[in-house]
Amino acid sequence: MAGLLADVWSWPAENWPAVAAWATVTIASIAGIVAARQLGETRKLRRQQAQPYVAVFMDRNSADPELVDLVLRNFGTSAATDIVLKIDPPPQRAAASDAGHGDVWLPDRVPTLVPGQEWRQLWDSTPRRAEADLRDHHDAVVTFKDPQDKEHCFEYALDWGATRKRMYATTYGVHDGVKALREISKKMS
């Protein structure tokens, strides 16, 4: 190694510009490779951030906390199209009468959900469901297409066991105020 360094230091002055040029080319090539990789990662991240993200979940109904809705929502930043929801076993709700259980209607296909838009359907009443002999766990699969027509598929678990034991606070909104005003109006007539 010492001999190699001695040889390098003994080079004539006209060789040093060539060495400097090759060093510059090598460093520029490495910088170009790093920049190309970073550009690729940035593009990939930008595509991921711009895609739709459709999820299915259970959510309390705003009119009554004992009611639970089945919700399909686009949490992404672009429109989702050709959305198909499959749930196994098919969701059922406890019937209001002793006639048996009722099927929860699901669309065959939702054409489009824009960012923040949701499709919502009443699934069941927590107290009625607790008394019924219905399955708690459901596996759901949501497929949809992004603006580039690429298909995405996500799997979800929907579980009534977790919903049954949740606590909630009753909140009163405009709906409750209108209901109270109607009651007052009936009593005053």
Q: Which pLDDT tens digit goes with each residue over 77-134?
A: 999 999 999 999 999 998 665 556 788 999 999 999 999 999 999 999 888 888 888 8
Confidence of residue 71 (pLDDT cuts 50, 70, 90): very high
What pTM was estimated for this model as a whole?
A: 0.67
Q: What is the mean pLDDT of residues 155-183?
A: 83
Structure tokens at 141: 């699969």
Residues facing residue 55 across a β-bridge: 73
- 15 with 93, same domain: the answer is no
- 129 with 84, same domain: the answer is yes
- 92 with 137, same domain: the answer is yes
In a domain, 177, yes or no: no
Contact between 95 and 64 (Cβ < 8 Å): no
Phi first, then psi: give them for residue 71, nearest 5 degrees: -125, 135
In a domain, 13, yes or no: yes
The beta strand positions in the chain, using DSSP E, are 54-60, 67-74, 80-88, 92-93, 102-103, 110-113, 118-125, 137-145, 151-159
- What is the number of domains present in the chain? 2
- 73 with 153, same domain: the answer is yes
CATH of the domain at 131: 2.60.40
In a domain, 173, yes or no: no
- Residue 151: which domain range? 54-168
- 123 with 157, same domain: the answer is yes
Contact between 131 and 70 (Cβ < 8 Å): no
In a domain, 88, yes or no: yes
Q: What pLDDT, on the 0 to 100 scale, is given for residue 95?
A: 67
CA angle (94, 105, 53) in 5-degree steps:
115
Strands 118-125 and 110-113: unpaired
Residue recorded with tokens 């009554």: 64
The CA radius of gyration of the chain, in Å to the nearest whole number, is 31
- 126 with 152, same domain: the answer is yes
- 81 with 142, same domain: the answer is yes
Q: What pLDDT, on the 0 to 100 scale, is given for residue 16?
A: 76
Percentage of the chain surpassing pLDDT 90? 43
Q: What is the mean pLDDT of residues 164-179?
A: 77
Contact between 126 and 68 (Cβ < 8 Å): yes
Q: How far is CA 29 from CA 19, 33, 75, in A?
A: 15, 6, 41
Round to whole Å and give the CA distance between 144 and 154: 9
